[in-house]
Amino acid sequence: MLLKSFSIRVCMPKHTETVLITGGLGQVGYYTYLHLKNQYNICILDNLSSSKVEVPDDVTFIQNDIQNKASYENLPKIDFIVHTAAQISVNQSVSNPIFDAKNNILGTLQLLEYAKDAKVKRFIHISSAATYGEPVFLPITEDHPRNPKSPYGLSKLVSEKYVRLYSQLYNLETVVLIPFNIYSPLQNADDHYAGVIFKFIEAIKKGIQYTIYGDGKQTRDFIHVKDVARAIDMSLKSKSAANQIVNIGSGVPYSINELSSNLLKLSKSVIQPLQSKAREGDIYESYCSIQKAQKILGFALSIPIETGLSEILKSI
Ligand SMILES: NC(=O)c1ccc[n+]([C@@H]2O[C@H](COP(=O)([O-])OP(=O)(O)OC[C@H]3O[C@@H](n4cnc5c(N)ncnc54)[C@H](O)[C@@H]3O)[C@@H](O)[C@H]2O)c1
């Protein structure tokens, strides 16, 4: 049931252009706000379903659902949209695929209807590496087949396709970013993308053993959320990014064994991790090509994983 009544708090504009960040109180949305707030007026639309932070003082805030048409009625003039709001739990998408599809597909569609009518200058859509599914080749490029393995991956793919369709039908300028495994001090243990970092750190801090599944040689492509926010900023500005799909990651495979040994080294811990058999359905190797991001956005990683991990070790 969507909220009929909702709260809105208006903030006086300081800049000439305004960015609407959906999901602006979540991990990616909040760091995007921090990165953009000195360049644009920021408006946040969030229903608080998985928010990680309080509402900042210097934003216009609408507490409502992206699926609700009323959410858009009292917005100031919006120049750009950064769409991060989504249901991101794979487990929840399996147990409640209808909720997942409504939130991610119908929510995106309602937002696109608004973007089309408001004639926004550019729509940045945050898709997901989950849309690729099991890698057929590595590194994963943007033309890699898309065979999602979960209702979440599928709902993210369908919403991305709606974004592309609106771009073709209505001349809405869009950029689709496909982030890989985002980590930050705001993530939690349930996060299927980078929750492993949180789990290992939590165990290290408590001085207890944690489990490495399989041989530990499985890889992921971890990227700090601040680098994702930089890529979003570049996507707002780069002319050549218009209507493109672009991977965002480090471009480097990082194994669970490397993650474990680096965290133990950084925290000077002597814990011996436990080994257990591989989990069914887990993707073994995954990392992306960031050549397109380098070429059309001028993107390069600014936070090496060891730096990001030390920051998180201090903050969690
Ligand atoms: N976390 C990752 O590693 C990762 C990787 C690839 C892609 N992504 C994508 O990045 C985006 C942001 O992910 P995140 O890690 O910041 O998630 P998050 O759960 O931290 O943030 C999502 C935010 O959106 C809000 N929200 C959710 N549904 C909403 C709705 N229907 N209406 C209004 N607000 C709603 C939540 O309250 C929350 O504040 C998602 O689209 C996700 O699919 C994330």
- The CATH number of 184-221+252-288+303-315 is 3.90.25.10
Give me the pLDDT at residue 245, please. 98
Does the beta carbon of 25 sit less than 6 angstroms from any atom of ligand 1? yes
Mutate to test the pocket of ligand 1, among 31, 47, 84 (most ligand atoms within 8 A of CB): 84
**Cβ–Cβ contacts within 10 Å for residue 62, how many?**
26
| Amino acid letter, residue 227 | D
Give pLDDT tens digits along the chain (316 positions).
454 446 888 999 999 999 999 999 999 999 999 999 999 999 999 999 999 999 999 999 999 999 999 999 989 999 999 999 999 999 999 999 999 999 999 999 999 999 999 999 999 999 999 999 999 999 999 999 999 999 999 999 999 999 999 999 999 999 999 999 999 999 877 788 878 999 999 999 999 999 999 999 999 999 999 999 999 999 999 999 999 999 999 999 999 999 999 999 999 999 999 999 998 878 899 999 999 999 999 999 999 999 999 999 988 7
Q: Which CATH architecture has domain 8-182+225-248?
A: 3-Layer(aba) Sandwich (3.40)
The set of catalytic residues is 152
* Structural domain spans, the chain: 8-182+225-248, 184-221+252-288+303-315
Rounded to the nearest angstrom, the distance between the alpha carbon of 28 and the centre of ligand 1 is: 7
H-assigned helices in the chain: 27-36, 90-95, 97-101, 107-118, 151-170, 195-206, 225-237, 256-266, 291-292, 305-315
Q: Fold identical between 8-182+225-248 and 184-221+252-288+303-315?
A: no
Q: Is 27 in the pocket of ligand 1 (CB under 6 A)?
A: yes
pLDDT in tens, 17-74: 999 999 999 999 999 999 999 999 999 999 999 999 999 999 999 999 999 999 999 8
**Nearest to residue 63, comparing CAs of 35, 93, 24?**
24
| pTM reported for the whole predicted model | 0.97
Ligand 1 pocket test target in 1, 6, 27 with most atoms within 8 Å of CB: 27
pLDDT tens digits, one per residue of 88-110: 999 999 999 999 999 999 999 99
| Residue whose CA is at the smallest distance from ligand 1 atom 12 | 84
